[in-house]
């Protein structure tokens, strides 16, 4: 099974001028490998996707639907709403920037290799 699970913890308190929070997704041997730390809602978020394989892969997800998203690579940014995903040639990487607004379960998958799937679980954490 090529499933990578990521648990992303979200605090409910919005914080202004928060530095960007980063999620790394490495694609290696037809698997999504994620490194994650606790994330907060309403804070600028960057997903860095690195394709270490010699195959082309996709990072596709509905998690960006309807929210302003910026895709950056080699000094070029593509921005807008309704980003469906990003295709990565071998050995390429990309940064996807957006603001986390919706807690919940967000699946991502490779449209080229149907057995490649991963999931980001965005949990809204109540302050004690
Ligand atoms: Cu793939």
Distance 127 CA to ligand 1 centre (A): 39
Q: What is the pTM of this model?
A: 0.79
| SS3 readout for the chain | CEEEEEEEEEECCCCCCCCCEEEEEEEECCEEEEECCCEECCCEEEEEEEECCCCCEEEEECCCCCCCEEEEECCEEEEECCCCEEEECCCCEEEEEEECCCCEEEEEECCCCCCEEEEEEEEEECCC
Q: Which residues surround ligand 1, an ion (CB under 5 A)?
A: 57, 110, 112-113, 116
pLDDT beyond 60 at 128 = no
pLDDT tens for 4-63 read 444 444 444 444 556 788 889 999 999 999 877 666 677 788 999 999 999 999 999 998
pLDDT, tens only, 59-71: 999 988 888 999 9
Cα–ligand 1 centroid distance for 34 (angstroms)? 15
Q: Which domains does the chain have, with CATH numbers?
A: 2-125 (2.60.40.420)
Distance 120 CA to ligand 1 centre (A): 17
- Is pLDDT above 70 for 101? yes
Give me ligand 1 centre to Cα 55, in Å.
7
User: What is the pLDDT, as a whole number, of residue 2?
Assistant: 47
**Residue 113 C-alpha to ligand 1 middle, in angstroms?**
4
Distance in Å, CA 92 to ligand 1 centroid: 13
The pLDDT score that the predictor gives to residue 53 is 98
């Amino acid at each position: 099974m090529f499933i990578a699970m990521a648990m992303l913890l979200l605090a409910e308190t919005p914080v202004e001028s928060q530095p960007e929070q980063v999620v790394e997704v490495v694609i290696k041997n037809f698997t999504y490998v994620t490194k994650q730390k606790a994330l907060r809602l309403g804070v600028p978020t960057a997903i860095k996707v690195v394709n270490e394989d010699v195959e082309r892969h996709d990072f596709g997800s509905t998690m960006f639907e309807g929210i302003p998203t910026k895709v950056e690579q080699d000094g070029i940014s593509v921005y807008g709403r309704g980003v469906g995903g990003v295709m990565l040639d071998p050995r390429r990487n990309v940064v996807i920037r957006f603001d986390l607004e919706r807690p919940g379960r967000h699946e991502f998958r490779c449209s080229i290799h149907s057995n490649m799937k991963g999931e980001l679980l965005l949990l809204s954490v109540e302050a004690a």
